[in-house]
């Protein structure tokens, strides 16, 4: 049996585009004499559709699209995913369903059994778990069809009492197929390989795995579709971060060309560039604006957005104040020259002085402090938002994960924006990613990378005035955010007790700020946003 894997980039709710893309791949498969083509999870509507699933019209459009696609399946079969109505009066009204299409119609439906409700997933909110288990009989072979999480209930990380494959294997299938919507994180490729290999070892069957590619707001899907033989050897790996179509023969599962797995920072760069590109494309925006400070965070953001959108679609704006150093301006200008992009400079000293004069009666008798510092940031935010409103662009936020964690940012100032590009990149990773970008030639001026980080909101200010070294800070934050360790557990790893308690208190106290940040492109296993749900007014560690 010839099986085609279609690793495609879908757009949530864009049924016309998704259906057109699916049918184009059906025709391509038919021309190549493919027997069965496989598409990813919820390909019809895009993933994750979230509360669109509550809207009756949305579901009816999904089902109608499946029926139209089924009519194209003459001379070949397809496996495609969409929500379906649950005929049972009990339980939730929808199933997360795989449709088997052949002979111009829907032959059978197969419902997802294991519904993830953790991190960025919330499928139990919408779907009823499937309760029947049946293989697909096609071309003289039995196919054990599973949907994403259905294969992830493996030994050592079991979250569910049942495993769909334990029941499907009783029908003695010849092959496993898994269709997925598995978001990218730095180590997800390795995690997927581990899970798929466990299943091939457990059930002694080859597996065909197909995943989404493309970004849906903060979630980035890297693809990574692959084929493993029954010995658990990966015989094919589709490229990451790009659409791809590939054909395999179940009778000849020999080693194919395997796309190389990029290094950590190759993956991060590719993921963020794809995240920016799709956010703009799917929202029908073309141009971006950002504030360029001369610091490393805005420099990295500009380098990424130029790669994603092109130098002519980005306008960095420099807004020096009386506290800005000369090298901040010269470094920013050098960066713009290296990237070949235009720029604009707005001096804000007089604006700041005007604010200062107007606030003098209210601030009388008080010392210069954070309030005055933040006025500069909010002036810049206002100017940037004015530009985006005037010219129909999107303001890109340049805060990193370390700053967002401890509240080192100004609401309605430098925390403003329509998309947070590096909000899931720790400061230490920001430095490493900049060096990676400079691996062949200097794009980000070396002085931006080597000078001490500073917000430049008061004379001679440095981040180290109020924060520990970023190597220490990021290590503590990682243990608390990604690994969910308690203060005692982190201290036991050798970190200073007072530092740990102070940092974790800052993290928890600043939850209210993070609830007001723009969507953050997710590249880690635990990003701020939909995957980390903390109470704003909780008193733990505060």
Burial (CB < 10 A; 0-12, 13-18, 19+), residue 364, is exposed
Please report the pLDDT score of residue 257 as a whole number. Answer: 64
Q: Given the DSSP bridges, would you call strands 226-228 and 207-210 parallel, antiparallel or unpaired?
A: antiparallel
The ranges of the chain with pLDDT < 50 are none
Please report the pLDDT score of residue 161 as a whole number. Answer: 84
CATH of domain 267-463: 3.40.50.620
Q: With contact defined as beta carbons under 8 Å apart, do 226 and 244 qualify?
A: no
Phi-psi region of 46 (alpha: psi -120 to 50; beta: other; left: phi over 0): left
Q: How far apart are CA 495 and CA 424, in angstroms?
A: 23
For the chain, how are helix, strand and coil distributed in percent, rounded to 5? 40, 20, 40
Query: Measuring CA to CA, which residue among 312, 301, 243, 244 is closest to residue 276?
Result: 301
Query: Measuring CA to CA, which residue among 200, 224, 192, 198 is closest to residue 211?
Result: 224
Q: How far apart are CA 433 and CA 420, in angstroms?
A: 16
Please report the pLDDT score of residue 159 as a whole number. Answer: 85
Q: How many CB atoms lie within 10 A of CB 186?
A: 16
Q: How far apart are CA 407 and CA 401, in angstroms?
A: 10
Q: With contact defined as beta carbons under 8 Å apart, do 91 and 128 qualify?
A: yes
Q: With contact defined as beta carbons under 8 Å apart, do 84 and 109 qualify?
A: yes
Which residues have CB under 8 Å from 172's CB, separation 6+? 142
Domain regions of the chain by residue span? 2-257, 267-463
Fold of 2-257: Nitrilase/N-carbamoyl-D-aminoacid amidohydrolase (3.60.110)
Give DSSP secondary structure letters for 302-362. Answer: HHHHHHHH-GGGEEEEE---TT--HHHHHHHHHHHHHHT---EE---HHHHHHHHHHHHHH
Please report the pLDDT score of residue 452 as a whole number. Answer: 80
pLDDT in tens, 189-212: 999 999 999 999 999 999 999 999
Residues designated catalytic: 41, 112, 148
Please report the pLDDT score of residue 459 as a whole number. Answer: 65
Q: How many CB atoms lie within 10 A of CB 12?
A: 17
Tokens 């060096």 found at = 435
Please report the pLDDT score of residue 466 as a whole number. Answer: 73
Please report the pLDDT score of residue 458 as a whole number. Answer: 55
């Amino acid at each position: 049996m010839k099986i085609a894997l279609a690793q495609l980039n879908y757009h949530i709710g864009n049924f016309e585009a998704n259906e057109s893309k699916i049918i184009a791949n059906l025709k391509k498969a038919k021309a190549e004499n493919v027997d069965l083509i496989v598409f990813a999870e919820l390909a019809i509507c895009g993933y994750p559709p979230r509360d669109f699933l509550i809207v009756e019209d949305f579901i009816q459009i999904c089902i109608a699209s499946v029926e139209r696609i089924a009519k194209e399946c003459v001379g070949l079969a397809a496996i495609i995913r969409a929500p379906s109505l649950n005929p049972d009066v009990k339980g939730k009204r929808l199933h997360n369903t795989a449709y088997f299409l052949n002979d111009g119609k829907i032959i059978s439906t197969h419902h997802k059994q294991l519904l993830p409700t953790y991190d960025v997933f919330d499928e139990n909110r919408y779907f009823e778990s499937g309760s029947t288990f049946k293989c697909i009989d096609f071309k003289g072979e039995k196919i054990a069809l599973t949907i994403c999480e259905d294969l992830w209930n493996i030994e050592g990380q079991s979250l569910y009492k049942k495993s769909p494959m334990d029941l499907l294997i009783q029908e003695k299938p010849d092959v496993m197929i898994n269709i997925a919507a598995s978001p990218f994180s730095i180590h997800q490729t390795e995690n997927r390989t581990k899970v798929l290999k466990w299943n091939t070892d457990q059930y002694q069957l080859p597996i065909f795995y197909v995943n989404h590619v493309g970004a849906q707001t903060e979630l980035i899907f890297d693809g990574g579709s692959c084929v493993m033989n029954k010995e658990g050897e990966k015989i094919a790996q589709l490229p990451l971060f790009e659409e791809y179509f590939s054909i395999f023969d179940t009778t000849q599962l020999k080693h194919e060309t395997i796309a190389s797995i990029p290094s950590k920072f190759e993956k991060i760069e590719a993921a963020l560039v794809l995240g920016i590109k799709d956010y703009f494309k799917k929202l029908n925006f073309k141009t971006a604006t950002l504030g360029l400070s001369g610091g490393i965070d805005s420099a990295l953001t500009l380098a990424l957005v130029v790669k994603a959108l092109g130098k002519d679609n980005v306008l960095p704006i420099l807004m020096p104040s009386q506290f800005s150093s000369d090298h901040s301006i010269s470094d920013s200008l050098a960066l713009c020259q290296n990237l070949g992009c235009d720029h604009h400079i707005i001096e804000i000293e007089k604006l700041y002085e005007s604010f200062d004069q107007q606030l003098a009666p209210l601030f009388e008798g008080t010392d210069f402090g954070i309030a005055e510092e933040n006025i500069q940031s909010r002036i810049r935010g206002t100017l940037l938002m004015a530009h985006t409103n005037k010219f129909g662009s999107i303001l890109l936020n340049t805060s990193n994960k370390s700053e967002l964690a401890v509240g080192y940012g100004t609401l309605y100032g430098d925390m403003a924006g329509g998309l947070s590009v590096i909000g899931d990149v720790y400061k230490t990773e920001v430095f490493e990613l900049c060096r990676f970008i400079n691996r062949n030639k200097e794009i980000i001026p070396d002085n931006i990378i080597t000078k001490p980080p500073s917000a430049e909101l008061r004379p001679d200010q440095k981040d180290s005035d109020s924060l520990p070294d970023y190597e220490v800070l990021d290590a503590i934050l990682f243990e608390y955010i990604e690994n969910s360790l308690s203060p005692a557990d982190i201290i036991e790893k050798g970190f200073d007790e007072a530092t740990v308690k102070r940092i974790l208190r800052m993290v928890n106290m600043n939850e209210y700020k993070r609830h007001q940040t723009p969507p953050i492109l997710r590249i880690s296993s635990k990003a701020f946003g939909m995957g980390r749900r903390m109470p704003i007014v909780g008193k733990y560690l505060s």
